[in-house]
Structure 1
Amino acid sequence: MDDYVANFPEDIVNEILLRCPVKSLLRFKCSCKNWYALIKTPKFIQQHLKKNHSPLQLLIYNIGDFLDDSCPMILISEENSQMFLGMKYVVGYVDGLFLMEGQINSATCCALWNPATREVRYLHLPTPIIDYSPDFGLGIDPLTNDYKVVYFLHYEAAVYSCRRDSWRVFKIEDFDKPPPFDKEMCRTYGSAYLNGNYYWLLTKNNINTTLLFNFGREMFEEIEGPDQDPKFPYVYALGMMLLDDSIAILNKKVFENFNYDIWVMIKPGVWNKLITFQSSPRIISCYDSSLILVTRASRLFSYNVQTNKTRYLGFQHWRLQDYAICGYTGVFLL
């Protein structure tokens, strides 16, 4: 097969493969070494995703016994599930690739999962992490199109390169100004990826701050959060989301039922309050400009904060409400 396709121009082969569905690509990977190498590259994967826009799909995980050793990932459109040894949570999603976190042999570990190809790559961390769970992030190096995974814990951090298949470990002495890694001082309330940067929303001494990791430079940076409104001193952060290619923070006012604020970062350290709204259903996830809500009847809806429109996502599960309250259910839109 390799000899038969050797005379095809590379650009024509690339264009043909980009137009093929995922199931066909999986077969082609087994028929030609050159095609296998091409299909596995992050650049090809990103180009294929852009050319093959499919309708939004729901990914629901951890509907079941959260004490089980494996996490069922349910891709609703295909009506099937896939089990992963030790994995408990989906941390993030970038261009068709998911990052999962869990424990194997009492040590924290993570894995990359492509639901389209059903491929899984377990990433064992540089040193066993037993007592605390690190904060993970998944993104793309815009200079090399390399998928990378980053984590931080106390005063240590590390970044994994899919291209190199190796970790680079940071120590406290590597930083001129140490980021807020101390887990006893900071709590993470959400995260998001945008344009080569990963953002974590942290609360430090009851003040919101944002920690940024740049995948190209492999550097951390701390950014100030929104100023606290003196009229509403009791506000806590629920999570981060993307709005019009900007990072945004979702806040909830403690003593005002169902009242929420969304703050958008105009530039590093400068925030603008975009909207204040009310929502009685529980907010369990964010997707671009939309919030994912679960009602008392265990139905999933999306609410677009830009258009103020609500849409039923066509999914209902009797355990969604209970598990959303306990924090054991995650919902992603692909």
Structure 2
Amino acid sequence: MTNILPQELITEILSLLLVKPLLRFQCVSKAWFVVINDPDFIKMHLNRSIETNRERALIADANNQRFSEPVQIYRPFNHPTNTFIKIVGHCNGLVCLHICPFCCSNIEERNIYPNEIVIWNPLIRKYKKLPFKPIEIPDDYVFKVAFGYDQINDDYKVVRILKPQPHLARVAEVGHLVYSLRGNSWRRVEDKWPRKDLYLHMHCSASLNGALHWVADRSGLTSAIIAFDLSTEKFRVHALPIKSKSCAFEYNTHLVVLGGCLCVWEANCEQFFDVWVMKEYGVAASNWTRLYRLPHSPQQTPSYSKPLALSNNGEEVLMHEFSGKLYCYNTKKKRSRIVEIQKRIEKCELNLLVVGSLLLLDGMIELEIG
């Protein structure tokens, strides 16, 4: 049957739709299937989703180790429910999961279900297991996993950073590994750690502008941000908006991305809750602007609230309180309101908003259906 509309217009209309109907529309015709699975269309659809802020999925990693949210989604693997699964990063609708066997109930289960890293698109229920790459971990070291997008090479990468425990007097010269989704392989990072006196927090990284970012401290004091450029595979150091003089247990400093900007949120357990944004991406501390400050008063504002998303007009911030409530805080009116959802997200280790994306649909990499 001859199309009434030109193909270019059909493609344009399809790019404006959400993920769920697009998955159904693959069955309309062979021509539509080819369009929806085309890598160029998938990129176009992703860019539209980001530009319009039209589709976001809230994912919660609850301490019962099941994903629970207003709409139930499925875990992309068959590991036992007591396996430790950690969300280590997300980018463009893809979520990176670290599956750790150490929480399995017995040795036999640990051998059957090894330590794995998975890249997962929860909205289309497809994922890819990364090839296993053993890494030698010295005594008193742990390794940290991070995930981001290399804009220069149009590639998604996973980085494994070897992190010393804070009590060590110095940082040993150990190797780090980076995985390329395009090349489907691991390789060693040649660049050295930028400052031996800085140690990474165990909090998740923030992916922005083709780089991964972590909060780093020195002798228990929050000091700087360590960045890893995914295209050059080089480390660099960014200044923090303030110099914390209190110990790490009094301040909780974290990184997120809000409105396309790097954001630092810092909770002082007794006084206030600050959120800073880097309006112009760079290394100067002067680039930071305080978006808002919340006093720790249960009658006025939620306590220990992680910012998740910024409204299109930049005035409201969606926040998640550790007790399980979602809030919208108006930075101009300095008022908050509860966001009602069908199911409370109780005591989550991490929760995030992922953009609607068709990535992993085109079959350009090896896929397994969850």
TM-score by length of 2: 0.67
Return the letter of the residue paired with 2:181. Answer: C
Cα deviation per residue 1:206-244 (whole Å; 9 max; x = unaligned)?
2422111112222221233344266x6785233112345
Instruction: Tell me, in whole angstroms, the C-alpha distance in 1 between the residues paired with 2:194 and 2:115.
Output: 22
Give the 3-state SS of the residue equivalent to 1:188 in structure 2. Answer: coil
CA RMSD of aligned residues (A): 3.9
Instruction: Tell me, in whole angstroms, the C-alpha distance in 2 between the residues paired with 1:217 and 1:33.
Output: 39
2:184 to 150, 162, 165: 165
Cα deviation per residue 1:285-305 (whole Å; 9 max; x = unaligned)?
332443523375x43224355
1:262 aligns with 2:275: yes
Contact preservation (8 Å) 1:138, 1:150: yes
* Alignment match, 2:361: none
Q: Where do 1:272-311 residues align within 5 Å?
A: 272=288, 274=290, 275-279=292-296, 280=298, 281-283=302-304, 285-289=306-310, 290=317, 292-294=319-321, 298-303=324-329, 305=331, 308-311=334-337
Return the letter of the residue paired with 1:261. Answer: D
TM-score by length of 1: 0.73
Gaps of 5+ in 2: 102-109, 164-173, 311-316, 355-370
* Alignment match, 1:198: 212
* Alignment match, 2:254: 239
Q: Which has the higher contact order (CA 8 A, sep 6+)?
A: 2
Q: Residues 31 and 128 (structure 1 numbering): CA distance in 2 closer, same or farther, change over 3 Å?
A: farther
Instruction: Tell me, in whole angstroms, the C-alpha distance in 2 between the residues paired with 1:306 and 1:136.
Output: 37
Return the letter of the residue paired with 1:278. Answer: P
Cα deviation per residue 1:25-65 (whole Å; 9 max; x = unaligned)?
54639986996697374x5434213335544432222252x
Structure 1 residue 189 displacement after superposition: 3.7
Contact preservation (8 Å) 1:202, 1:211: yes
Cα deviation per residue 1:260-281 (whole Å; 9 max; x = unaligned)?
2233345314154514321443
Instruction: Give the total of aligned pairs.
Output: 306
* Alignment match, 2:155: 146
Contact preservation (8 Å) 1:190, 1:201: no
Cα deviation per residue 1:127-146 (whole Å; 9 max; x = unaligned)?
14678542222222212322
Q: Where do 1:32-43 residues align within 5 Å?
A: 39=37, 41=39
Structure 1 residue 331 displacement after superposition: 1.6
2:125 to 86, 101, 118: 118
Structure 1 residue 80 displacement after superposition: 4.0
Contact preservation (8 Å) 2:215, 2:253: no
Gaps of 5+ in 1: 65-70
Instruction: Tell me, in whole angstroms, the C-alpha distance in 2 between the residues paired with 1:333 and 1:292.
Output: 11
Q: Residues 278 and 113 (structure 1 numbering): CA distance in 2 closer, same or farther, change over 3 Å?
A: same
Pick the structure with more strand per residue: 1
- The percent of aligned pairs where both chains have the same amino acid is 23
Structure 1 residue 111 displacement after superposition: 0.9
1:22 to 19, 24, 39: 19
Instruction: Tell me, in whole angstroms, the C-alpha distance in 1 between the residues paired with 2:334 and 2:100.
Output: 40
Instruction: Tell me, in whole angstroms, the C-alpha distance in 1 between the residues paired with 2:266 and 2:182.
Output: 37
Give the 3-state SS of the residue equivalent to 2:341 in structure 1. Answer: strand
Q: Where do 1:167-182 residues align within 5 Å?
A: 167-170=186-189, 174-175=190-191, 178-180=193-195
2:339 to 299, 309, 313: 313
Structure 1 residue 188 displacement after superposition: 3.4
* Alignment match, 1:67: none
